[in-house]
Amino acid sequence: MSKSSFRLAVLAALIAAAVLRFDRLERRPMHHDEANQAVKFGTLLETGRYTYDKADHHGPTLYYLTLPAAWVRGQKTMAALDETTLRAVPAVFGLGLVALLLFLTRAVGRCAAAGAMVLAAVSPALAYYSRSYIQEMLFAFFAWGFLIALGWLFVRPSGWKAVAAGAAAGMAFATKETSVLVFAAAAAGIAAAWLLTKPEPRSKRKVPKPGHILAGLASAAGSAFLFYSSFFRHPAGIIDSLTAFKDYAVRGTEAGLHSQPWFYYLKTLAWTRTEGVTWTEALILGLALIGVVAAVLRRKQKPEAVQVMSEEAASSWAKTFWLRYLAVSTLGLAILFSALSYKTPWNTVVFQAGFAILAGIGADVLLRLVRPQAARMALAAVLLLGVLHLGRQSLLANQVYPADPRNPYVYAQTSPDFLRLVDRVKDLAGYHGDEQAMPIKVLAEPSEQWPLPWYLRRFTAVGYWTEEPAAGSLEGFPVVIASQKLAEPVEAAAGEAYQPSHYGLRPEVVLTLFVERTLWEDFLRSRIRR
C-alpha cells in the first residue's frame, strides 16, 4: 500500500469512527449502569471527593477522566450535567482506540494496520459501547495500549517503552478489575511468540533489561496508586482494589442472573436474528480467522504467497513475532472472558478490538494471495461492501434501534417509555406550587430505582425506600413512583386519592406513577385549556 493510500484509509477510518461515536449521543435513554456511574461522578464533581467501592462501580478512571469534559462545558453540578458530556468521554476513548492501531503500522504493515483501523471504526460492538457511560471503552483503550507497548518492548527494548507499557497497565487496572485477564493473555502471547519464533541467522534477539522491567512495574504501580488513592486522599483504596479480586472472582464464576454459555460472545458477534432484523460481524471474525491461520503457517523465507506482511513493516523475525503475539493474546482474551460464567455483551469490546486487528492482517493476506489484478480489485470491492455493511449496522444500532431489544448489543436497556414517565413528572412539577421542590416518593427495589436518581437529579425533595411498610405512608407526597412488587400496597394505601398510570422501565419491568388526584386534575384542566 502506498503512503498516500494509507493516509487516505487512516483519515477515512478516523472520520467514520468519529461520526459513529459522537453523533447524537443523547439519542438513547440512560442505562441503569450509566445512571449509577453518572451519579457517582456527580458527587466527585460537586465535592471533589471519591472513594473506591470494591463491591461495585469498578475503578476510578472513568470518573476522574470525565472532569475535564464537565469543565470544558461549564458544568459544575450534577444538575447541570447531561448525557452528551458524560458519553463524550467513552466516545473519545473509542476514537482513541482506533487511532491507537497506528502504532502497529511498522509491526504489521500499512495495509493490515489501515484495514484494522477501518474495521475497528465500523464494528457495531465497538461503536455502540463507545456511546455508553461505562468503563468498557476506557478499559479497551488502556488494555491495547499496554499490549501494543509490551509487544514493542520485546521487539526493540527501551526504557520509555517499558514506562509506557507500565502506565497503560496501571490505567487498565485502575479502570476494571478484569485487567488481570489482559495481563494473563499478554503473558501467554509473549511466551508463545518468543518460543515459537526462531531468531534470524547471525542475529541476537534483545530482551528487556531488569531496569526496563523495574521501570515498567514502577510506572504501573504509580498510575494505579494515583487513581485508587483518590490522588493521595485515600491511600487505603489501593488495598481495597487488591482485595476486590476475591469478590469479582466469585461473581465471575458463580451461576447467576448474568450467566451465559461459553459461546455467548461469539454467537452475539457472529449472527443474531431477532424479529426480522439480522446482525452480524462475521466479516471481522472470518478475516480474523485468516489472520490466525497466517500466524500458524508463517515461516521464514517462504514464497511470497505466504509472506503475510508488506515490506515496509519490521524485520522478518519481528513480523512473525508480532503476528503470533497478537493472535495468541487476542484468542487468550476471548477464551478467558468466555470461560467466565458472568457475561454481559459489552465485555466483548476488549477482544473484539483484537479481532479487528487480526482481521486487518487477514484482509492483507487475502489481497496478497490473489494474483491477477482484476481479481484483486474484485476482492477489494467485496471487502469494501462488507465494511459498508458493518457501518450500516452501526448506524442502525446507534440511531434506529439504540434501545430496542432486537439490537443484540442492548442489554437490560432502559425503555424509551420510561422517558414518558420522567416527562410526566416534570410536567406535574410545573403545576405544583413547589415546582422542583415537589416531594416525590420512590418505592422500589434497588435494581428498579435506577436510572431514576439520574433523571430526577434536579428535584430536591426525592426520597427512596425499598421496604413494603413505607408504602402505607403517602402523606405529604403528591407524586409516588412504585415498582411492580410495591405498587399493590401503594394502591391499597392510596385508595381513590391518587391516579395511577403505568410505564415500562425495561423489558418486562413496569413502574407505576401515582399522582395525588387534586394535582392530577389541575394538570388535566391545564391541558384541556391548551
Largest CA distance in the chain: 92
Using DSSP bridges, classify how beta strands 509-516 and 498-506 pair: parallel, antiparallel or unpaired: antiparallel
| pLDDT single digits (tens) 57-90 | 889 999 999 999 999 999 999 999 999 999 999 9
pLDDT at 202: 54
* Amino acid of residue 255: A
Name 335's Cβ contacts closer than 8 Å, sequence gap at least 6: none
Query: Would the pLDDT of 472 be above 90?
Result: no
For residue 242, what is its C-alpha cell? 487488591
Q: Which residue would you say has higher pLDDT here, 197 or 397?
A: 397
Query: Would the pLDDT of 356 be above 60?
Result: yes
Query: Rounded to the nearest 10 degrees, what angle do helices 316-339 and 349-369 cross at?
Result: 140
Query: Would the pLDDT of 306 be above 90?
Result: no
Single out the residue of 505, 513, 510 nearest to residue 30, CA to CA: 505
Average pLDDT (254-280) is 89
Whose cell is 481479481? That residue is 375
What is the chain's mean pLDDT, rounded? 92
When pLDDT is cut at 50, 70 and 90, the band that residue 285 belongs to is very high
Total count of residues recorded for the chain: 530
Given a contact cutoff of 8 angstroms between Cβ atoms, the answer to whether 77 and 46 are in contact is yes
When pLDDT is cut at 50, 70 and 90, the band that residue 246 belongs to is confident
Query: Would the pLDDT of 359 be above 70?
Result: yes
Query: Would the pLDDT of 432 be above 50?
Result: yes
When pLDDT is cut at 50, 70 and 90, the band that residue 529 belongs to is low
When pLDDT is cut at 50, 70 and 90, the band that residue 307 belongs to is very low
Nearest-angstrom CA–CA distance, 507 and 524: 29
pLDDT at 324: 96
pLDDT at 200: 66
Backbone angles phi, psi at 118, to 5 degrees: -65, -45
pLDDT at 62: 97
Q: Between the CA of residue 345 and those of 21, 126, 412, what are the distances in Å?
A: 18, 11, 11
pTM (2 d.p.) = 0.93
When pLDDT is cut at 50, 70 and 90, the band that residue 509 belongs to is very high
When pLDDT is cut at 50, 70 and 90, the band that residue 528 belongs to is confident
pLDDT at 2: 87
Name 445's Cβ contacts closer than 8 Å, sequence gap at least 6: 466, 483, 485
Nearest-angstrom CA–CA distance, 174 and 238: 9
Q: Which residue would you say has higher pLDDT here, 398 or 54?
A: 398
Query: Would the pLDDT of 249 be above 80?
Result: no
When pLDDT is cut at 50, 70 and 90, the band that residue 206 belongs to is confident
Which residues on adjacent β-strands are paired with residue 515? 479, 499
State percent of the chain over pLDDT 70.
95
Query: Would the pLDDT of 300 be above 60?
Result: no
When pLDDT is cut at 50, 70 and 90, the band that residue 205 belongs to is confident
Compute, in degrees rounded to 10, the torsion defined by CA atoms 211, 216, 218, 220.
Answer: -170
State percent of the chain over pLDDT 90.
79
* Amino acid of residue 233: R
| Residue 429: exposure state from Cβ atoms within 10 A (0-12, 13-18, ≥19) | buried
Nearest-angstrom CA–CA distance, 239 and 217: 17
